[in-house]
Chains A and B, each alone.
Chain A
């Protein structure tokens, strides 16, 4: 039963993330733990990237805090299905608060990729798009093809949120591209980049 259920998906996670980040403009990006860090870092080590290499379940709320503090800037979350599931109540909190400038992109390989590809709940009937909609997200999408991804880009980058998309991808991970690991360095660099103040 290992990974049978996701063999039907053809999108490659790294290409998806790169496609999304091509149009980021001045958006700030918060990544969840695991492959999302490598996916984002491999596009460009932008100072407006906050890589979370820990705190499973915290990415959406970190980004929400940034979104409140930086209401004029788009904030993107790039994270995995397992990471979001670990903090799933945060969708309800975001649904209540309705930050217009927050988009959450879930790269859903239906597995805990960093720990041996064990199935997550999304491979067994849990519908993150449905949970986001139930939580009050204005716009949600399930993306399984390049055409669907292309069609969603305006919502990801520009249209009022909160927005959540689940992108179903193959379970195969791409090569590790390490981001800077030191949290103090990454966070100060990020803060200086988004606030214009010196670290």
Chain B
């Protein structure tokens, strides 16, 4: 099943983030990000920052960049709704912002309450000036994040990688 691939792509993505010299990883947990968060916590260079709300993360990474460090923000698609106003800062100041968003509310979704935000995610990000890369094939996630990191940190842009629910796997509602 797709679920089993979760750890594999996470490892590759983590390598990409390390290579991009990401030193702060801010997150609100999502099941799809479980492995990546664990690796961030275990790493002795990366500072993991657990947030109460995703909007805090946009501000933290703006500060990180002001202080000379690069960062990444991990969240679920529902969290995209929480960051919109705060994105105005990254946009106005042209801060690099790399967001890795695991999708809900689409492929095989069970919970109807996840569907509105999941379906709106790509549109509201683009309306806010974020460049969106979407990836649905596990083998392409790492290279997509690598490209997004380059566009964010070197191109000075806000970039979101949407990792499809098809890759992350269905939420297991039968446990």
Contact = CB atoms under 8 A, between A and B. Distances in A.
Interface of A: 28, 30, 50, 52, 54-70, 87, 89-90, 92-93, 96-97, 183-184, 186-187, 190-191, 194-195, 197
A65 B71 CA distance: 9
Interface of B: 23-24, 47, 49-53, 55-69, 71, 85-86, 88-89, 92-95
B60 A183 contact: no
B107 to A, nearest CB: 31
B87 to A, nearest CB: 9
Contacts of B60: 61-62, 64-65, 68
B39 to A, nearest CB: 18
Interface centre among A30, A66, A87, A191 (most CB of B within 10 A): A66
Contact of A69 (B50, B63, B88, B94): B63
Contact of B59 (A68, A87, A97, A190): A87
Contact of A61 (B56, B69, B92): B56
A65 B66 contact: yes
A92 B52 CA distance: 8
A37 B154 CA distance: 30
A161 to B, nearest CB: 15
A62 B66 contact: yes
A54 B92 contact: yes
Contacts of A90: 52, 56, 59
Contacts of B23: 69
A189 B103 CA distance: 37
B90 to A, nearest CB: 9
B62 A62 contact: yes
Contacts of A67: 63, 67
Per CB-CB distance, the 3 closest pairs between chain A and chain B, nearest first, are A65-B63, A69-B67, A89-B52
